[in-house]
Structure 1
Amino acid sequence: MTDQRLLARITYDPDIFGGKPIIRGMRISVESILSLLAQGESAEAIIDDHPELEPDDIRACLAYAHAVIAHDSLDAVRRTRQAT
C-alpha cells in the first residue's frame, strides 16, 4: 500500500482528542499507537488488544510520523534535546 493510501486512514475530528490525528475516525489516536510501538509493543500485540485495528492502520501511523518528521526533523530533534 502506498504512503498516500496509508495516510488516508489517518483522520481528524475536533470532537475526538481535540482534533489530534486518529485512525479511521475511531477513538484511537496515532499518538497512542506510536507510544505503544516506542515502548516495545509489537504491531501484533497492539492489534490483539484492539481487534478493530488492521495491520495497515499501524503502518499508517508510522507513515504519518515519517511525513511529520520529514517536514520538521531538525526542530523535533532540537526540542527533544532541550527537554532533557
Structure 2
Amino acid sequence: MTSTELTNRITVNPAIFGGKPIVRGRRLAVEHVLGMLAAGDSTESLLAAYPWLEREDVLACLEYARRLVAHERVEPAIRTGDAA
C-alpha cells in the first residue's frame, strides 16, 4: 500500500476522538479496528458491522500499525525467578 493510498484511508480530525487516527474521516478509530481484530473478529465480521467499511480500510489499519511498530524499539521484559 502506497503512502498516498494509506493517507486516503487513514485520516486525523481533531474534532473526532481527540485527533486519533480514524478510517476515512468517520467515527471509527484505527485502534478500534485493531482491537476487534486482536479480539478474534474477522475482517468479514467488521465489514458486516460497518457496511461502509471496505476491506482495503482494514488493510490500511494493519499497514498503519505496521509502520508505527517498525519505528519503535521494543525492549523485552526482564523477568526474575523460575521460568513458567
For 1:57, the equivalent position in structure 2 comes to 57
CA RMSD across the alignment: 1.7
Instruction: Decide which structure has the larger Cα Rg and report it.
Output: 2
Structure 1 gaps, min length 5: none
1:21 alignment partner AA = P
**Secondary structure of residue in 2 paired with 1:67:** helix
Q: How far has the Cα of 1:3 moved from its partner?
A: 3.7
For 1:7, the equivalent position in structure 2 comes to 6
For 2:24, the equivalent position in structure 1 comes to 24
Scaled by the length of structure 2, what TM-score is found?
A: 0.83
1:4 alignment partner AA = S
Structure 2 gaps, min length 5: 79-84
Structure 1 or 2: more helix by fraction:
1
